[in-house]
Amino acid sequence: MPQSSAITSESHVDGSNDDSLVESCSTLCQTLPFDDSEILPASISEPPIRIMALHAMLYCERLFYLEEVEEIYVADGNVYAGRRLHDDVVPEDDITPEKRSFQVSSETWGLTGKADAVRKRDGQWIAYEHKKGGCRREADNSPSPWPSDRIQAIAYAVLIAEILDEPVSEARIRYHKDNVTAKVAIDDVAREDLRQAVERARELRRSELRPPVTDNERLCSTCSLAPVCLPEEERNKPEQMQLFPARRHGQTLHVVSPKARIGRSANTIVVTVEDDIQKLPIEDLDSVVIHGSGQMTTQALHLCSSRGIPVQWYSMGGKFMAGTQSVSGRVRQRIRQFAALSDPKICLELTRTTVQAKVESQLRYLMRATRGNEARRDVTTASLDRIRQTLARLPAATSLDTIRGLEGQAAKAYFAAIPSLISDQAKDVLIPKGRTKHPPKDQFNCLLSYGYSLLYGLVHRSLIAVGLEPAFGYFHQPRSAAPPLVLDVMELFRTVIWDMPLIGSVNRAMWNDSSLFCISPGQVWLSEPGKKQAIQLFEGRLCETFKHPHTGTSVEYARIVELECRLLEKEWSGYPGEYGKMRLR
């Protein structure tokens, strides 16, 4: 389990925290002498609480719950910077002895963690913590720790004293932005604060419900879990700043060559293809996709897993084969999902929402593609009319089978209109003669299927990242190895993410070179150069932006897929009504 919180000390810079946090922390204090026998021992079956989780709880109880209970971790630039600080920090002087990265745990307290350092000063052990950001300031401008930092330092000091069997009367927190050190007394008041914090953490961990978002909006602005929490939706304040990031933090590494070997060097992924070597820092990646028979070492897999980076494998023909799942647990999330998607009414409404979004996008794309071209519009008029009729009947549909039938009628009309959208610049062999899938029998269907397979992988890893179970859906039936929920969510994006850029590229004569395809009797596949070109087209589309109705801002398509997955979970987590609202303009 990662030993770092999603909040770094940057969150506390320039006094951005409310004094209400300080007050809430001070209410924990009592002046009675502290007795270790008063500590409530954790249940034998209850795992220890990470000390960094206590830090998160004092910052925001929702943050604690997402990390410690639902096991959701997001490492952004601030988190990586904090990790590098702890790796690079050096002692303040040459006084010894010193213990760095001191692992601590206590069955009595039910806590575990790793202190930055413990040093001896004037015969006394002192616990040290290092923070990248700035400190809190008292009225006289003297440095003071933030409540979350204070409880963390107290926990480390108390556990260090227990392990060394020597008193630790003080902890110190070094704030590197201000270049100051704040001191924390380890007395009866501090121990009582820690006891009550541990009790509250246990209460939250046993709860079935997520705590509400914090009232202090400023805490959310620097929290790396804001894209998961989506606090702006629950506050229902339209004027509030949207916290969902518009762009990806990393890129997808696609490995196509069958001679490729993916290895590891420290925190770098190394891709070797014969004499060509490419090195990519792990912080620059958000996923790894291996097409065909490329090899990946165990060490590289371990690095990706430790950073929450999924690895996926595709067959030579472009079929999704498998993917790693580096997140475990998420039990509470999946219990809510199973309960919701076992309700026929919820499944019916989600299906109606999904199909309506898909069919409306298909209709609007055909209208856009034929606008100003009377010849094309005449050819597609019948298809447009049939799609409109389907949309008109959707609201009255009372069963999944009826909606599936309407979706099938719309799809048939849509694909019947596709050939009329292909320009004279493309070769005749690129004009489809209907939709063929397994295997594709012409070049256009080959391209269409390959792009859908790439989209499948994107949706699959997005659902896993959100914490949803791909195998439990609301629309598609589990009749094959394909997880139904992946197919459900894909319906929102087939037209906007792949159909449109693909037809545009065909009309620009990008696929006229026959060497991009491998053609055999009864089936057509992409060659290695063809796969590379399709991947470039797909990834280029993911980097384009679209104004999503939830954020009201332009967001990359890659992020929109994740956003829709998170909005889907909100449908059964108390804040429904936002999923599936994206429409092609």
Q: Are residues 100 and 186 in the same domain?
A: yes
Helix (H, G, I), strand (E, B) or coil at 458: helix
Helix (H, G, I), strand (E, B) or coil at 464: helix
Q: Is residue 333 part of a domain?
A: no
Q: Is residue 51 part of a domain?
A: yes
Calpha distance 251→204 (Å, rounded): 35
Q: Which of 280, 301, 323 is at the close of a domain?
A: 323
CATH code where residue 259 lies: 3.100.10.20
Two tokens, residue 223:
């929290």
Q: Are residues 196 and 287 in the same domain?
A: no
Q: What's the chain's length in residues?
A: 585
Does the pLDDT of residue 38 top 80, yes or no? no
Calpha distance 270→255 (Å, rounded): 11
Q: Which of 204, 235, 266 is at the close of a domain?
A: 235
Does the pLDDT of residue 87 top 50, yes or no? no
Contact indicator for 204, 65 with CB cutoff of 8 Å = yes
Q: Are residues 386 and 526 in the same domain?
A: yes
Helix (H, G, I), strand (E, B) or coil at 266: coil
Model confidence at 72, pLDDT cuts 50, 70, 90, reads confident
Average pLDDT, the chain: 84
CA distances from 346 to 222, 390, 581 (A): 34, 21, 16
Domain count, the chain: 3
Q: Are residues 207 and 274 in the same domain?
A: no
- In this structure, the strands spanning 554-556 and 545-547 are antiparallel
Q: Is residue 400 part of a domain?
A: yes
Q: Could you tell me the pTM of the whole model?
A: 0.72
Q: Are residues 313 and 377 in the same domain?
A: no
Q: Is residue 57 part of a domain?
A: yes
Domain region containing 316:
251-323
Please state the rounded mean pLDDT for residues 161-173: 91
Contact indicator for 288, 252 with CB cutoff of 8 Å = yes
Model confidence at 509, pLDDT cuts 50, 70, 90, reads very high
Two tokens, residue 414:
């849509």
pLDDT of residue 123: 80
Question: Strand runs (DSSP E) across 187-284, as ranges?
Answer: 251-255, 260-265, 268-273, 276-281
CATH code where residue 372 lies: 1.20.120.920
Q: Are residues 111 and 257 in the same domain?
A: no
Helix (H, G, I), strand (E, B) or coil at 10: helix
Model confidence at 215, pLDDT cuts 50, 70, 90, reads confident
> Cis omega (within 30 of 0) on the bond before 97?
yes
pLDDT of residue 449: 95
CA atoms within 13 A on the CB side of 407: 19
Calpha distance 281→352 (Å, rounded): 43
pLDDT of residue 242: 53
pLDDT of residue 357: 96
